[in-house]
Structure 1
Amino acid sequence: MSSGNVSAVLVHGAWADGSSWSKVIDRLKERGIDAIAAPLPLTSLGDDVAALDRTLERIEGPVVVAGHAYAGAVIGSTRSDRVAALVYVAALAPDEGETVGDVFYRDEAHPQAPQLAPDLHGLIWLPHDAFAAAFAQDGTPRELAVLAAVQRPIAVSCIGEAVGRPLWRDRPNWFLIAGQDRMINPDTQRFMARRMNANVRSYQVDHTPLVTAPDAVTDVIVEAVQSVSAR
């Protein structure tokens, strides 16, 4: 099935940048789908949504937007009419009136999850050893080294802002549940996916499958693109 003129916009989460999507971008290109990684400043939820909207403005035609982790709140907060479907990759999906923190801390943390605290600038950094312990425990040494080297901190304000009516209530959506996630409890992911009435795809992958299991992530995005194209 052709993807037609449907593009993909890929949105990174906390402690990452657009390069985290590089393997998925390659695979989507092989499937005939153009993809752009949206750069987020991670300075506030409002700033991040504005950054996503600027990326969406550059694209002609319908778009499938995929968000990883924290970026689930970002993709759910855009009101862009270019968005035809949403894909949540081990992502957070707060409902109206909720914050990222509300859903992130909903269930018990994994024993190897890092303790997170802001620095003197109100920024939260991921401890270096957390990349191998919890963020991407299935990654190769090289992948872990790159993730740690390019990490970008997230401002405390990002996780404390309540969201409005999320777009997942008004668009078809997919949710990749990461069964071996040590950052976002898989039970939390299942809860969010159920209330979203999402098309659920579950894999025994870590928190960052866009790096460690890119074929699985690509398949879910392609499924969403093809669904939009078939309409």
Structure 2
Amino acid sequence: MDRSAPRGVLLVHGAWHTGHAWNGVAKGLRDRGVPVAVAELHRGSLAADIAAAESVLDLGPGPVIACGHSYGGAVISGLNVERVAHLVYLAAAMPDAGESSLGLMSDAPHSDLHAAMIGDPHGITTIDPGMAGALFHGHLTEEQQADRAAGLVPQLMTAGYQSIPDAAWRVRPSTYVVCDDDRVLHPELQRRLSERASYTATWHSDHGAFASHEAETIDILHRLATDR
């Protein structure tokens, strides 16, 4: 194995998002020579989402840096630890074995998310188009917010109630990025979860730090990918 080559980076999006949310971060890392894989979730269950993430982990020899945003934190927590070198939680759920993403949120102060969710009898939710931009991307311009909000998709909530049998962060080092102006995942919950991580950073960011703090996200992932 060429130890001078950077590790691959796996990017895992959150609820209501798709892999396109990571376009800027993925390009920035690839421009620096870092192999990148972007998971596409919405497979119907947490186990299926984890399997979808693991299916794109062919990023060369050796384990990868796995970064999960929001619900994506539950996905990376369930990855095979043999394939992961470091876990990065970007304003993300960081469940232990037996915990669920929505269960973690139910034990935290309420955020603005609930008021923006529109549900149907089949357990599928969408985000109110009039609230979505400011909810996820309050630190962007109105035009940028609208562009990001246009990319949101309906979300089957089943996976949010499901748990993992083992937590990868108990075996592998991890970094938690607390976003202290987050209107989706309450900062108090993030600070509590960050105590589980090996390392912690705090950014004055909205929930969509991959956009409002794109350069910082690229920097932290590049550093981890090249730290041999």
TM-score in terms of structure 1 length: 0.90
SS at match of 1:81: helix
Deviates more, 1:201-210 or 1:34-43: 34-43
- After superposition, what is the alpha-carbon deviation per residue over 1:173-204, rounded to whole angstroms, capped at 9, x for unaligned? 1111101101011111111110x233111110
- The answer for unaligned runs of 5 or more in structure 1 is none
| Matching residue of 2:92 | 91
| Matching residue of 1:141 | 142
- Superposed, 1:106-145 pairs within 5 Å as 106-110=107-111, 112-115=112-115, 116=117, 118-145=119-146
Deviation at 1:27, TM superposition (A): 1.7
| Matching residue of 2:51 | 50
TM-score in terms of structure 2 length: 0.91
AA aligned opposite 2:75: V
CA distance in 2 between partners of 1:113 and 1:197 (Å): 25
AA aligned opposite 1:189: Q
**Per the alignment, do residues 209 and 197 of structure 1 end up closer, same or farther by CA in structure 2, a change over 3 Å counting?**
closer
Q: CA RMSD in A?
A: 1.8
1:212 equivalenced with 2:212 (yes/no): yes
CA contact (8 A) 2:118 2:128 kept: no
- Superposed, 1:191-210 pairs within 5 Å as 191-194=192-195, 196-210=196-210
SS at match of 2:54: helix
| Matching residue of 2:68 | 67
CA distance in 2 between partners of 1:114 and 1:211 (Å): 22
- The answer for unaligned runs of 5 or more in structure 2 is none
AA aligned opposite 2:168: L
CA distance in 2 between partners of 1:3 and 1:21 (Å): 25
Deviation at 1:216, TM superposition (A): 1.5
Deviation at 1:145, TM superposition (A): 2.2
Question: Between the two proteins, what is the percent identity of the paired residues?
Answer: 29
CA distance in 2 between partners of 1:152 and 1:25 (Å): 20
SS at match of 2:66: strand
Q: How many residues align?
A: 224
CA distance in 1 between partners of 2:43 and 2:184 (Å): 18
CA distance in 2 between partners of 1:169 and 1:94 (Å): 10
AA aligned opposite 2:37: I
- After superposition, what is the alpha-carbon deviation per residue over 1:79-98, rounded to whole angstroms, capped at 9, x for unaligned? 15221111111000111111
**Per the alignment, do residues 138 and 42 of structure 1 end up closer, same or farther by CA in structure 2, a change over 3 Å counting?**
farther
SS at match of 2:202: strand
Deviation at 1:42, TM superposition (A): 4.7
- Superposed, 1:24-35 pairs within 5 Å as 24-35=25-36
| Matching residue of 2:172 | 171
| Matching residue of 2:11 | 10
CA distance in 2 between partners of 1:21 and 1:174 (Å): 18
CA distance in 1 between partners of 2:153 and 2:43 (Å): 8
